[in-house]
Amino acid sequence: MKSAEDSEDKNRKVYVAVRPMDIDDLATVFHLGERLFTAKEVPNLYRTWDDFEVIDLFHSDSEFCLVAEADDRIVGFALGTTLTKSRSAWKYGHLFWLGVDPDHHGQGIASKLFHRFRDLMIAEGVRILLVDTEADNLPALHFFRKMGFGNPQEHIYLSLNLDPQLRQLRERKATSRYRLHDEE
Ligand SMILES: CC(C)(COP(=O)(O)OP(=O)(O)OC[C@H]1O[C@@H](n2cnc3c(N)ncnc32)[C@H](O)[C@@H]1OP(=O)(O)O)[C@@H](O)C(=O)NCCC(=O)NCCS
């Protein structure tokens, strides 16, 4: 159980600075994300939190990677990109990952990160910002609604287990290999 001191500590107003992410932040951001985006039973193939994800985004879109710092510690991050779609003159922004250290939730840190990210997008000429999250991630849904997002569109992931076919194929390959040996 949390003590009154703990929750007082959590509600303590800390000075939070948002700044561009730099190369020395990669490991810290990755490990913070590991705590926030835990692997689900059914992995979402669209995107997974791993070291490549952070490195790739930093490599391709470092100007859209931000961190929030409090007491010289990274306590949050926002990683995104911009994109244009064929047959659309509009430029889109996509906020891929937004995360705040659970010890600092409810202190306005995600809001700060988001507002800085949104300003970067506006400066880039982005007209529509996109975000996505699991349907049961209520804190994120509340957060995005509060930031002005709306018009949610459902998208359902299905999965097909190809294990039996894979096993059959391997067995067939193994049998034909034995046959070749026998004929030699
Ligand atoms: C979603 C998340 C980024 C919010 O971070 P945060 O710093 O706690 O958010 P803020 O303090 O800026 O909250 C701003 C507003 O969002 C809403 N909100 C945030 N967390 C909420 C929660 N747990 N329940 C309900 N509303 C919430 C509130 O309206 C809040 O305004 P208020 O404090 O005036 O009520 C944080 O919970 C998180 O890191 N979650 C795990 C990672 C994740 O799911 N990321 C989003 C998908 S990539």
Give the list of residues 6+ apart from residue 84 with CB closer than 8 angstroms, or none.
Answer: 90, 91, 92
65's enclosing H/E stretch is: strand 65-70
**Spatial distance between the Cα atoms of 144 and 132, rounded to a whole number of angstroms:** 9
Cβ–ligand 1 contact at 129 (below 6 Å): no
10, part of any domain: yes
**Spatial distance between the Cα atoms of 101 and 67, rounded to a whole number of angstroms:** 11
Are the beta carbons of 117 and 126 closer than 8 angstroms?
no
Nearest CA to ligand 1 atom 17: 143
Tell me the pTM. Answer: 0.86
Domain span at residue 37? 4-155
170, part of any domain: no
What is the number of domains present in the chain? 1
- Report the nearest atom of ligand 1 relative to the CA of 143: 16
Q: What CATH code is carried by the domain that includes residue 64?
A: 3.40.630.30
For residues 5, 10, 11 and 17, what is the CA-based torsion angle, rounded to 10 degrees?
140
50, part of any domain: yes
Cβ–ligand 1 contact at 137 (below 6 Å): yes
144, part of any domain: yes
17's enclosing H/E stretch is: strand 16-20
User: pLDDT tens per residue, the chain (184 residues)?
Assistant: 444 444 445 555 679 999 999 999 999 999 999 999 875 544 565 678 888 999 999 999 999 999 999 999 999 999 999 998 888 888 999 999 999 999 999 999 999 999 999 999 999 999 999 999 888 899 999 999 999 999 999 888 888 999 999 999 999 999 887 676 666 6
The tokens for 45 are 């193939």
15, part of any domain: yes
145, part of any domain: yes
Q: How far is the CA of 108 from the centre of ligand 1 (A)?
A: 8
